[in-house]
Amino acid sequence: MKNILVLCTGNSCRSQIAHGYLNHFARSKANVYSAGIETHGVNPKAIAIMQEDGIDISQHTSNHVDEYLGVDFDYIITVCDHAKENCPYIPSEKAVRLHHDFTDPSKVSGSDERIHDAFESARDEIKAYCKNFVNAHVAASTPTK
């Protein structure tokens, strides 16, 4: 069983979306955690955009990375440059550290349609990344949705 940490600045949006998809694609083959170098609460728009794709993250909580210092991670995935550059040291000797700077949809302003499109675009990009990650690093068989 792999231990995977998804790390972002506030653990409110991109890391929560990735957490949802990693759980979905890895099923019982991984323990997935998400955290931030700060905590901002789970973004309601992230919950809603995931619900549109049939993934429920409404029970997720915004956690600080220090809560997981005792976990020996196999993978640590940073999903924004700020977290990558400002993350405290995590003492997981075997952890493979990966990084992808996903666009932050919570920074988009304008019409409801423009904001929705930004969340949908970020969600779809994160979904593809997570599916590829699980296929490459966690399991041979994954759901195809």
11-28, pLDDT tens digit by residue?
999 999 999 999 999 988
Catalytic residue among 5, 6, 7, 8: 8
Q: Is the pLDDT of residue 8 over 60?
A: yes
pLDDT digits (tens, 9 = 90+) for 119-144: 999 999 999 999 999 999 997 544 44
Q: Is residue 8 annotated as part of the catalytic site, yes or no?
A: yes
Q: What pLDDT is attached to residue 88?
A: 64
Catalytic residue among 13, 26, 87, 126: 87
Domain 2-137 architecture: 3-Layer(aba) Sandwich (3.40)
Catalytic residue among 7, 13, 37, 80: 80
Delimit the domains of the chain by residue range: 2-137
> Is the CB of residue 36 less than 8 Å from the CB of residue 57?
no
**Cα–Cα separations (whole angstroms), residue 137 to 49, 94, 112:** 26, 14, 37
> Is the CB of residue 118 less than 8 Å from the CB of residue 104?
no
pTM of the model: 0.91
pLDDT digits (tens, 9 = 90+) for 76-125: 999 987 777 766 667 677 889 999 999 999 999 999 999 999 999 999 99
- Closest alpha carbon to 131 in 143, 121, 123: 143
- Closest alpha carbon to 120 in 24, 55, 49, 16: 49
Q: Which helix (H) or strand (E) holds 124?
A: helix 112-137
Q: Which helix (H) or strand (E) holds 121?
A: helix 112-137
